[in-house]
Structure 1
Amino acid sequence: MINRKVSHLLLAPLLLVCEQAALADETEIELPSLSIEEDFQETLSGTEEQGYRAGSASAGVLGKLPLKDTPYSVNVTSSSLMKNIQAQSVSEALKYNPTVNSGYGGNTIGGGGAFQIRGFISENNESFIDGVRVYSRAPLEDKERIEVLNGSSSFLYGFANPAGIVNYTLKRPTAQPLASLTTGVYGGRQAYVHGDFGGPIDSENTFGYRLNVVKVSNGETAVNKQHHGRYLLSGALDWNISPDTRWSFDYSRFQADIDHGDDTFAVRNTVTSIPHAPDASKNYVPSYSVNRDGYRRYGMAFDSRLNDIFSIRSKLIYNRINTYRHRAENGIISNDGDYTMSRNYYESMKFNRAGNIFLDANIDTGLIAHVFTLGFSGEDTNTKYAYPYANKNITFPGINNLYHQDPYPVDVPDDTRGHAKRNTEKLRMTSTTLADRITFNEQWSAIIGISHITIVDRNKSYSNYLKTGTFTRRPKNDKERTTPSLALTYKPLSNLSLYASYIESLQKGDTAPSNAANADEVLSPYMSRQVEAGIKSTWGEMDLNVAAFRIKKRNAYTDLVTNIFKMDGQEIHNGLEVVATGKLTRNLTMTGGFTLMKAYIDKATDHALKDKTPQGVPEKIARLYSEYAVDQLPGLTLTGGLSYTGKIYVDSLNKLSIPSVFTGDIGARYKMSVAGKGITYRLTVSNLWDHDYWTTSGGSLSLGSPRNVALSATLDL
């Protein structure tokens, strides 16, 4: 639970609401954009007409900033692009971001929600919604955009993975009535319908709403006998108390079910060469392998310009996340594709309370302008497991083969499911930040900040509970640190920015994977450090961004001999990112680029790790997506994409690797008008050559998605 002082800080804006509401009765209220955002209002919002270019993005404690003035590498995927490529998962939405690589295939739990950013893993349970951590997978239909901030970002978000931040921005109420209905098939027999509605509620435009409703049928996907059903109910309400004050609310309920799915394979130490990937359209798990994920989220935000100097921003969320697994776990034991199967059975609940409050002050000192920000962020998370089950892990007899499958044995009956009531982890993290955005003149600006971060992490192990009836308290993982951040920006031209930045981050310890001998153990917190330099430029209607970086962090890996997940040495990642987005010509839109890295282990006590590439890290990534509007047939747009991922080592000693993979997609979009209503038809063929390939985040393998055909139609009412 967030402490009493924090609660007072978070509730303080409510007192201001009462005062503003009294004044609201005496004045005429309209529905404008908040004036506290007007300084940063950008005309580019990521529409297809704008070449999917975004003009601004969230920067955590600093609020919303123009991308050209942000001294960090940020890439934005808009809802328009997500809709046009018919993405149904986050991994699909980010598939053309050249700085991101999905560590899991699209057919795994969460739809491929774990990513490598700059070679580090960012799990879907470390994502953010509107700048607040949520610890759950995220549906796309109620999101306006996905913002990926690459690299260490503790200064901006309080406590962050050195990989970076995946921040989802919720769709907000619109000033004009909005209604659209989309229906289609994601592939196979997986039909869906999505309604998006919004607009003002009252004639004075004081209140606005947004409602997104989604239902995806439990029909078969492109993988044989696999089903991905889900639903979403998401609503948002804005109360525009005055032109300078807004109080916002949101609620969402989400549930996703994967039946007969999750094609993941652990790699046992008897394997000396990774077998080639089998047919990805086939199913490699028994029919009783099921996975359930869901959450209920409640959110509130308050923003107000108090006067010409001071502004206040605050958010508060509560998230209840449920996870259930009756899950097959395959383990490859030979170079010829032989594998064994066991069954893992558990249920967990996670209760997450988080909030922040920021006070901004615009103060000029002579010719130098300052925006000071004093901020506090806090979160409290409690994880509970229904553990242990009567039979948590069952190893089935016999050996199967990737290329010559035999029928699976029947499931073991009489397993008790129980309830998620045993506390396994209690985590509290707080961050207090002081930042100063300094503008010296039109060419030079800087950001200076300092954060004090505290992590209190308590863990329990129930591994011997069946024998002893007791649990074990694991060592405390507590740490606090004061970390600095510096950034300098120089704009020699209005369309060109040069920047350099330095950030230190305190990171929560990594969690051992489920197939490790110490599964679910949380390691000690550690520090990461990043130096970055970059160029941001605009040429015509194209944005070109280049960033070079160097990141250091503790190295965590699974020992192939002991199968224990532990830390040893440090990872050093040196890299270069190039990203371009926009319209090359009136008809041709392109987005993509590449990432080149040199990642290695240093200062390890185990000398066999020295200079090895960290497991699961792709050192070469290239992505390209393009659209061409056909003049000869107005309304028709041809689409296509290419993706390349270089060789990836599966193990820490670099003895096992999966080869590079190159895939392509094609599609088309056609717009027309019927009875004054706009209709858009979309066709997407992904993995055009039906290439079978492995993906990995290290230690285990997942199959990439097979060739898939998606169709949809959107009616704007």
Structure 2
Amino acid sequence: MAAALPCLSAVHAQTAPQTQPATTNGPVTSMDAIRVEASADASAGGLSAPFAGGQVARGGRVGILGTLDNMSTPFSVTSYTNELIQDRQAKSVGDVLQNDSGVRVARGFGNFQESYFIRGFILSSDDVAYNGLFSLLPRQYIATELFERVEVLRGASAFLTGSPPSGGGIGGVINLVPKRAPNEPLTRVTTGVASGGQFLASTDVARRFGPDDSTGIRINAAQRSGDTGIDDEHSRTSLVSLGLDWRSADTRLSADIGWQENKLKRARPNVTLARNVTVVPDAPDASSNYAQPWSYSNERDVFGTVRAEHDFSDKLTGWAAYGFRRSDESNSLGNVTVTNGSTGAAQFSRFDNVREDQVDTGEFGMRANVKTGSVGHQFVASASFFQLKKDNAYATGGTRQTNIYDPVSYYDAPPLTNVVGNMDNPSLQGRIQTSSYAIGDTMSFFEDRVLLTAGIRHQRLSSRSYDYNSGKETASYDASHNSPAAGLVVKVSPSVSLYANYIEALVAGDTAPATIATSSGSGTLDVVNAGQSLAPYVSKQKEIGVKYEGEYFGSTLALFTTDKPRAYTDLSDLTFKEAGKDRHQGVELNVFGEVTRSVRLLGGFTWLDAEQRSTGDPAINGNRVIGVPRFQSTMGAEWDIPGVQGLTVDGRVVYTGSSYANAQNTLKVPGWTRFDAGVRYMTDVGGHTLTLRARVENIANRNYWASVGGYPGSGYLVLGGPRTFSLSASMDF
């Protein structure tokens, strides 16, 4: 066993290329002839090498600037590795991001879609990127078997990535890196069980072949199925994905295709607080379930990408990429609204929905490395497009009474009384189209010790909405904007970098409502410019920070401020206009790496002051933004047990401060702390690596509201999960 253990890390994660830190003159990759290293996206640089401890990488994708070393990047980026994903037994993107102190996982409005608070701004899973292209993976739930790494680019990113199609990206974007075949053959089989009887079976197979192993193939298949730790809740997720890559001396190609089906039965819904509620209800028992027995949510997705990169010379490289997604969703839900916060009295209404998505997106660009005197330049130019075609229909039914502390679950499904569109054949309801062009230059001075990046992106945003029944266009939006950016890195020493940036985010402006409630709430008034779309909202971010990376330990400290415009109807002239803003100011500290050879840390803290300003309503001016705590922290530690080779224990504490469920800040949701722990053992069995993992989350079985909101302006509550056990065994053949 002792002889085998030094090799475990090689089979535990993909092999990374031996890449020098990226500079403006491009990465330098060592290859024996056409010896292939694991490559994320048909790029010469490949994956960034893991940092000491293996939980995060030394860099990540920074939009059109490509994959950069963390110390050469004027932005805050964290790339979580597949090693961390496996060791934490993460099932989804949200499970991985529980390790990030600057991110909190929430849920979509009225459904089970994952949403993410990054620096206090909401990013929906619609706006997650896959290999640099937005909205390709399943929009409600993305299983971890589909990706190699989770990259978090914190802060606004209009110049770097373009605007995410669903209007997120103000606080940051998430990019998922696809899996590629490593240099050594891989055949891994994993089985597992979890609380409630949830069962996992998966396989991961990869091979390289052809001259100099220039061609790679990697196949992943998995299924999770069974009851969960929540009473009477059942889920089943099935998936298959195929990743291909090929390279020659000057050309690199990659392609991915995947299928995922996610089925939920009696999944516990969100809790909305009625307008008359004056107190936030205490969190019910974490195992309880107030979903109705007839409720369900199903989603099926097929998706794929293809990417090519070609070196026209040693100084000029071009790339092109295309991706698609085809999705079908259907659900029947009984969403809960609490009418009395003290007693937990509530009601639910039936809501059925069918939706079909067609996404097509792509990009192409060029990079050039040149020198003018002593100054190095890395020029980049790119163009991109995105289109979403959405077919939709929905229906509503009657309302019934229940209680979140004593749920009533014997009702039959209320009959549908209002059907909008054709539930058997939904028609076109909306289109979203974006296109953009970007240019940038990263200049290097004083032998790459000072790096200055400047660029601009011109982006067009367009959307159309159509009547569910007649198909007639009911609303349209078409606007464009130029988004500049600037970033500076000063390398004080090989282990310390100072950085600063100015960058913007761009989202479509709101559309004026038809009416507005009177101040007394007794009636409504007509809005003068009803149906008018406002100009795109431009969020402006300023950030400074310092990065430290020693041989084994690293940290990043960032101070930032971001203004997000908002709109309201001015009661003096009944005109809907852009006015006021939400200002998010904060401090982030992240730590990672090895404290000693046997102890690893990962985590940090985030302090946020998210304030509503000049809102047009004196009752909310100066109040905190819905769902955003002042302080949150995550800290995880791993310890290799001395004397027992291959045995490691880990612990994690997650703290989230109190927040508010309404803009008036009268409904305060208590903060919470959760403790998680795990143990794993790696050994050799007959020449094969066996990894056993056990984990428990929410050790104290605490009852808590895990998130507040997840959709702009809404303060619904999501109950945290109960104490949950999971066990798995992986064998590499």
Normalising by structure 1, what TM-score? 0.88
Q: 2: CA distance between counterparts of 1:550 and 1:40?
A: 32
Deviation of 1:615 after TM superposition, in Å, equals 0.9
Q: 1: CA distance between counterparts of 2:597 and 2:47?
A: 21
Q: Secondary structure at the match of 2:722?
A: coil
Structure 1 alignment gaps of length 5 or more: 1-27, 560-564
Q: 1: CA distance between counterparts of 2:100 and 2:397?
A: 40
Q: 1: CA distance between counterparts of 2:435 and 2:495?
A: 38
**Aligned pair in 2 of structure 1 residues 264, 630: CA closer, same or farther (>3 Å)?**
same
Deviation of 1:703 after TM superposition, in Å, equals 0.6
Q: Which residue of 1 aligns with 2:129?
A: 128
Q: Which residue of 2 aligns with 1:497?
A: 497
| Alpha-carbon contact 1:88-1:186 (below 8 Å) kept | no
| Alpha-carbon contact 1:396-1:409 (below 8 Å) kept | no
**Aligned pair in 2 of structure 1 residues 38, 101: CA closer, same or farther (>3 Å)?**
closer
Q: Which residue of 1 aligns with 2:554?
A: 543
Residue range with higher mean Cα deviation, 127-136 or 589-598 = 127-136
Cα RMSD over matched residues?
2.7
Q: Are 1:600 and 2:611 matched, yes or no?
A: yes
**Aligned pair in 2 of structure 1 residues 39, 171: CA closer, same or farther (>3 Å)?**
closer
Q: 1: CA distance between counterparts of 2:224 and 2:351?
A: 27
| Alpha-carbon contact 2:42-2:252 (below 8 Å) kept | no
Structure 2 alignment gaps of length 5 or more: 1-32, 518-523, 525-530, 571-575
Deviation of 1:350 after TM superposition, in Å, equals 1.1
Q: 2: CA distance between counterparts of 1:43 and 1:64?
A: 7
Q: Secondary structure at the match of 1:608?
A: coil
Alignment of 1:689-704 (within 5 A): 689-694=700-705, 695-697=707-709, 698-704=714-720
Residue range with higher mean Cα deviation, 431-440 or 532-541 = 532-541
| Alpha-carbon contact 1:558-1:699 (below 8 Å) kept | no
| Alpha-carbon contact 1:491-1:498 (below 8 Å) kept | yes
Residue range with higher mean Cα deviation, 637-646 or 405-414 = 405-414
Alignment of 1:135-150 (within 5 A): 136=139, 137-150=141-154
Q: Are 1:202 and 2:210 matched, yes or no?
A: yes
Q: Which residue of 1 aligns with 2:372?
A: 365
Deviations 1:579-628 (A, max 9, x none): 00101011111100000011111121122221111111122110011110
Q: Which residue of 2 aligns with 1:156?
A: 160
Q: Which residue of 2 aligns with 1:172?
A: 180
Q: 2: CA distance between counterparts of 1:140 and 1:477?
A: 35
Q: Which residue of 1 aligns with 2:49?
A: 44
Deviation of 1:405 after TM superposition, in Å, equals 2.7
Q: 1: CA distance between counterparts of 2:134 and 2:551?
A: 37
Q: 2: CA distance between counterparts of 1:666 and 1:283?
A: 25
Q: Are 1:714 and 2:730 matched, yes or no?
A: yes
Q: 2: CA distance between counterparts of 1:440 and 1:109?
A: 51
The one-letter code of the counterpart of 1:44 is A
Q: 1: CA distance between counterparts of 2:664 and 2:598?
A: 49
Alignment of 1:192-591 (within 5 A): 192-202=200-210, 204-217=212-225, 219-240=226-247, 242-335=248-341, 336-385=343-392, 387-388=393-394, 392-397=395-400, 399-412=401-414, 418-441=423-446, 442-462=448-468, 470=470, 473-509=473-509, 524=534, 525-555=536-566, 569-591=580-602
Normalising by structure 2, what TM-score? 0.86
Deviations 1:531-582 (A, max 9, x none): 01111111341110011100011237999xxxxx997621100000000010
| Alpha-carbon contact 1:35-1:243 (below 8 Å) kept | no
**Aligned pair in 2 of structure 1 residues 148, 33: CA closer, same or farther (>3 Å)?**
closer
The one-letter code of the counterpart of 2:95 is E
Q: Secondary structure at the match of 1:141?
A: helix
The one-letter code of the counterpart of 2:150 is I
Q: 2: CA distance between counterparts of 1:547 and 1:132?
A: 27
Q: 2: CA distance between counterparts of 1:596 and 1:69?
A: 25
Deviations 1:264-291 (A, max 9, x none): 1111101000010001211101111100
Q: 1: CA distance between counterparts of 2:321 and 2:666?
A: 47
Match of 1:189 among 190, 197, 200: 197
Q: Secondary structure at the match of 1:641?
A: strand
Q: Are 1:617 and 2:616 matched, yes or no?
A: no
| Alpha-carbon contact 2:245-2:255 (below 8 Å) kept | yes
Q: Secondary structure at the match of 2:195?
A: coil
Q: Which residue of 1 aligns with 2:78?
A: 75
Deviation of 1:418 after TM superposition, in Å, equals 2.6
Q: 1: CA distance between counterparts of 2:369 and 2:605?
A: 38
| Alpha-carbon contact 1:113-1:124 (below 8 Å) kept | yes
| Alpha-carbon contact 2:186-2:204 (below 8 Å) kept | yes
Deviation of 1:31 after TM superposition, in Å, equals 3.5
Q: 1: CA distance between counterparts of 2:579 and 2:198?
A: 45
**Aligned pair in 2 of structure 1 residues 420, 484: CA closer, same or farther (>3 Å)?**
farther
Q: 1: CA distance between counterparts of 2:336 and 2:416?
A: 22
Q: 1: CA distance between counterparts of 2:61 and 2:511?
A: 28
Deviation of 1:509 after TM superposition, in Å, equals 4.9
| Alpha-carbon contact 2:398-2:414 (below 8 Å) kept | no
Deviations 1:342-369 (A, max 9, x none): 1100100111100001100111000000
Q: Which residue of 2 aligns with 1:117?
A: 118
| Alpha-carbon contact 1:368-1:438 (below 8 Å) kept | yes
**Aligned pair in 2 of structure 1 residues 633, 557: CA closer, same or farther (>3 Å)?**
farther
